[in-house]
Structure 1
Amino acid sequence: MTSTRRDAFQAIADPTRRQIINLIAHQPLNLNAIAENFDVSRPAISQHIKILIECGLINIKKNGRERYCEAKLQPLNEVAQWLEQYRKGWEERFDKMDDLLEQLKNKNK
């Protein structure tokens, strides 16, 4: 049996996981505090947390009996780099459209 390597793309593919990342991006939260934000079961949230840990986007810190989820956003750089190639292409297209609109505007004066 081969194990699947999880990555940041898999992490952000699910809207619940994206929301969990948003919740803990600025401050660590315990599992209960995270689960309170969702209308799904605590085991379902725990499964999402497990996937985010496997993707390298969450680190668990123990503080007494509590377990806090802490965001590790560095793996999202891989997503940002992948998107960058498309952002540049779209910017070029928008620049060309701006030029065309400016030409049309000047032509109608």
Structure 2
Amino acid sequence: METLKTECTPEENTHIITDIRFRPNSTQLATSSFDATVRVWDAAQPSYCMWKFTVHTAQVMSLDFHPKKNDLFCSCDGNSEIRFWNINQYSCTRISEASLLDP
């Protein structure tokens, strides 16, 4: 960060990254992408992803970690599907559909 120069450019995503979130109290971060994946990285060793979640059927638009239970995060795709994940169990714990309120 001090030099503002790139240390590493991972080549694993095949489309643009739509969101990046750091895992609380950790050096890990997660990215969502138009390639319908969520990937978890270690910022201390960013040359390859640690975990790759590939069950979304549309572009993953956003993600976020739980503020207190840092083993949990959610991701939302272009079909309004929200998936709740347990990162330690490498599993999707729940699926929900986002609904928009009419103005």
What range is the shorter-chain TM-score in?
Answer: under 0.3
The structure with the largest alpha-carbon Rg is 1
TM-score by length of 1: 0.22
Which one has the bigger helix percentage?
1
The normalised TM-score by structure 2 is 0.23
* The structure with more strand, counted as a fraction of residues: 2
